[in-house]
Structure 1
Amino acid sequence: MHFKSVLRALLLALTCGSFALTAFAQWQWIDKDGRKVYSDRSPPADILEKNILKRPGGFARAAVTPEPATSAADPASPAASASAGKASAPKLSGKDAELEAKKKQAENEEAAKKKAEEEKIAKSNAETCERAKKYLGTLQSGVRIGTTNTKGEREIMDDAKRAEESKRTQSLVDGNCK
């Protein structure tokens, strides 16, 4: 009986110790955007050695092969410009392209909605303009115009009311007929 309890305690200690070791197996580096990254996996190959801040014990970074001497010595060479272009170009995964496509589609839909709203406003302004022009023409023609007062009684517009209404209608024409 005593042997089994000692064996269990030993197994428990080994298990706890292995969890503690894996918890401390953390990589830490600074990515291309300057953000600090923590991970249990090694950084991507494009992360420079100087940007690796912490690595778990026992892990060594794979040796980086130097570029050919021609590209380092002559920055104008095609090999140097091609490698510089590859290094600076962002790498897009399938998810990024899919996200960009969805973002582009949302922007297109938003632009279409905005255009439709602008067309609706323009159409409304054109209709208001036409009605205001017709009403202004009627006011300026001198024809007797009847209106209904608040009591529901019919009244004929006098000259003062006609001048006031003409001024208001002219401002509508000026505002909507551009």
Structure 2
Amino acid sequence: MKIVQWLVLGCLCAMPLAAAAQWQWVDKDGRKVFSDQAPPPEIPDKNIVRRPGAPVARHAASPAAETPDAAPSPLPPSTASGPKPSGVDKELEEKARKAEEAEKAKQAAEAQKLAKTRADNCGRARQGKATMDSGIRVARVNAQGEREIMDDKARAAEQQRLQSVIDSDCK
């Protein structure tokens, strides 16, 4: 039973160490933010209050932080100014840009195909409407394969259908 008590005590003593690996910064609205991840790049270095593994820094508004004999940051200057983009990031950005261009090209091709289809539908509908308006007899083939002459009611319904196609596709 003694071993369990020592393990619990050891875990309790180690808990504050996990909290020490936290970032702390002041966001653009003036609120303190605590996180286990680095702040976003748009947060200036002066707003970062605490870094993991670094001693607690004072807030930029305090007069002690503005004195010239304040202790320098323990981090090297290259990391203190923020993360620098590496070649991998540039490659990723290039791939994303190319994928975006390919998507735009695909959408443009689809739009062009749709415009061509509408133009074809428009031409066929106008030709059919001209045939219906001419007054000549028009025959259709029914489901049994027999020819049927369209009566006035069927002709009027077809003229209405063709007019709606013209209204939607001929713009």
Please give the alpha-carbon distance, in whole angstroms, between the structure 2 residues aligned to 1:35 and 1:169.
66
What is the correspondence of 1:125-136 to structure 2 with a 5 Å cutoff? 125-136=118-129
1:169 aligned residue: 162
Using a 3 Å threshold, how does the CA distance of structure 1 residues 27 and 99 change in structure 2: closer, same or farther?
same
Alignment CA distance shift 1:35-1:130 (3 Å) = farther
Measure the CA separation in 2 of the matches of 1:173 and 1:50: 64
Q: Count residues with an aligned counterpart.
A: 125
Structure 1 residue 54 displacement after superposition: 5.0
Could you tell me how far apart the structure 2 residues matched to 1:90 and 1:32 are?
Answer: 18
Structure-1 residue corresponding to 2:12: none
Call closer, same or farther: CA 1:112–1:27 in 2, change over 3 Å: same
Structure 1 residue 55: deviation in Å?
A: 2.9
Aligned to 1:152: 145
Q: Render the CA deviation track for 1:9-59: whole Å, top value 9, x for unaligned.
A: xxxxxxxxxxxxxxx6975424798562369xxxxxx855962255379xx
Alignment partner of 1:100 is 2:99: no
- For 1:63, the equivalent position in structure 2 comes to 72
Q: Which residue of 2 is the match for residue 29 of structure 1?
A: 23
Identity value in percent? 41
**Larger-Rg structure:** 1
Q: 1:132, 1:170 → 2: CA distance?
A: 8
Describe the shift of the 1:126–1:38 C-alpha distance in structure 2 as closer, same or farther (beyond 3 A). Answer: closer
Question: Pick from 113, 119, 123: which aligns with 1:120?
Answer: 113
- Cα distance in 2 for partners of 1:170, 1:90 equals 63
Q: Give the match for residue 142 of structure 1.
A: 135
Contact 2:26 2:47 in 1 (8 A): no
- Which digits, 9 at most, give the CA deviation of each residue in 1:87-115, with x for residues without a partner? 6x974222221111111111101111111
| TM-score normalised by length of structure 1 | 0.57
Structure 2 partner of 1:5: none
Q: Are the counterparts in 2 of residues 125 and 176 from structure 1 also a CA contact under 8 Å?
A: yes
Look up the SS of the partner of 1:155 in the other structure: strand
What TM-score, normalized to structure 2? 0.59
1:51 to 49, 52, 58: 49
CA contact (8 A) 1:32 1:47 kept: no
Output the aligned Cα RMSD: 3.5
2:9 counterpart residue number: none
Q: Which secondary structure state, in structure 2, belongs to the residue aligned with residue 51 of structure 1?
A: strand
